[in-house]
Amino acid sequence: MLAASIVLSVIGLACKGDDGPSASPSATERVTTRSPSATGASESPAGGKWRTLAPMPTPRSEVAAAELNGEIYIVGGFEGDGSPSAKVEAYSPASDTWREVAPLPAPRHHAAAFVFGTLFVMGGFETSFSDPQTSVFQYDVTGNTWSEATNLPKPRGGHAAAVLQCGQDVLGACIFAIGGTDAAQRNIGEVAVNDPSGLWLMAAQLPTPRDHLAVGAVDGKIYAIGGRLAIDFGRNVDANEEYDPRANRWTAREALPTARSGIAAAVLDRRVFVFGGEGSGGTFDQNEAYSSETDSWETMPPMPTARHGLGAAVVGDTIYVIGGGPTPGLSVSGVNEAFTP
């Protein structure tokens, strides 16, 4: 097993990401009660509050993100000159400050991050979209060092990761690697599962293989949402598919109202919030929330800054949406915006 104790964390992956707008170091606040309507979402958008916080010191896109011990770690991605990054920066919502921690052992973009006792970074691309990796890096908070953990069975990038109780006859928690592409930029349907013994197994295939998707876990099930086909943001999908580990089965659920990829997701109050993304027409500011209880979507107040390739994580009652590209393709920002439903 990759670690001994578990803190549930679900990370949504983003997309390909020029220096975007940066936030003021002093927090500003915006309360919104309307957002663009979308077919399939609630017609009366819910309220919520957005705040603009201290910007990320190194503007990036195609990052991975996860919360650990009250801090949000933004990992890898692309930097402003287009180079893949090994940078890792940690944000403290309590003090609205950033600190740089030890870099990854190697650059990674389009990786997935998750917390399983500590921070892990799984797969991703090192240079081009033709070199997905099998590596899994593990962070030691006390020593501020990285080490290698059990590799993925096959290389993948542009995927997402979740930690959830294994189900069926396996006791304990499992790590799920979902979606992404291989070296030929073909979509991967195989769902790789790391079980408590440390073995990698294969779960039921993702019905709609795709990359640049996001996932969220609610009530013991995983929701794989949005994404694109073969790294082409002109081929975005609206798929929302639920995985039940106890039955090892996928089920189609109410589609994402706005088909998009390069998105981020976070779970709060038993809802999966899906942020941003890109398509052939530009970047998205959409913020849509899925309730598995009612199998329905609700339109939430849009992000102040549209972007793709961003990271999202929850601390307390707030979702922090960080980094990402303001224009489709290779662009970056240090934007740090917080949403409280």
The CATH superfamily assigned to 10-340 is Kelch-type beta propeller (2.120.10.80)
Mean pLDDT of 123-146: 97
pLDDT for position 29: 41
- Read off the pLDDT of residues 137-161 as tens digits, 9 standing for 90 and up: 999 999 999 999 999 999 999 999 9
Mean pLDDT of 182-208: 96
pLDDT for position 338: 99
pTM comes to 0.89
Place of tokens 């549930």: 8
Burial class (CB in 10 A: 0-12, 13-18, 19+), 203: buried
Q: Where are the domains of the chain?
A: 10-340
Contacts of 95 (CB under 8 A, 6+ apart): none
Nearest to 230 by CA among 187, 188, 263: 187
Mean pLDDT of 119-144: 97
Better-predicted residue by pLDDT, 171 or 302: 302
pLDDT for position 335: 99
Mean pLDDT of 187-214: 96
Residue 291 has pLDDT above 60, yes or no: yes
Amino acid at 34: R
pLDDT for position 44: 53
Q: Are 177 and 159 in contact (CB under 8 A)?
A: yes
Residue 269 has pLDDT above 50, yes or no: yes
User: 279: alpha, beta or left, given left = phi > 0 and alpha = psi -120 to 50?
Assistant: beta
Q: Are 18 and 61 in contact (CB under 8 A)?
A: no
Mean pLDDT of 258-263: 98
Q: d(Cα 60, Cα 266) in Å, to the nearest integer?
A: 19
Contacts of 286 (CB under 8 A, 6+ apart): 35, 36, 38, 257, 258, 260, 274, 275, 276, 277, 302, 303
Q: Are 254 and 297 in contact (CB under 8 A)?
A: yes
Residue 213 has pLDDT above 80, yes or no: yes
Better-predicted residue by pLDDT, 144 or 199: 144
Place of tokens 């794989």: 224
Nearest to 307 by CA among 288, 280, 281, 335: 335
Mean pLDDT of all residues belonging to the chain: 89
Q: d(Cα 263, Cα 225) in Å, to the nearest integer?
A: 9
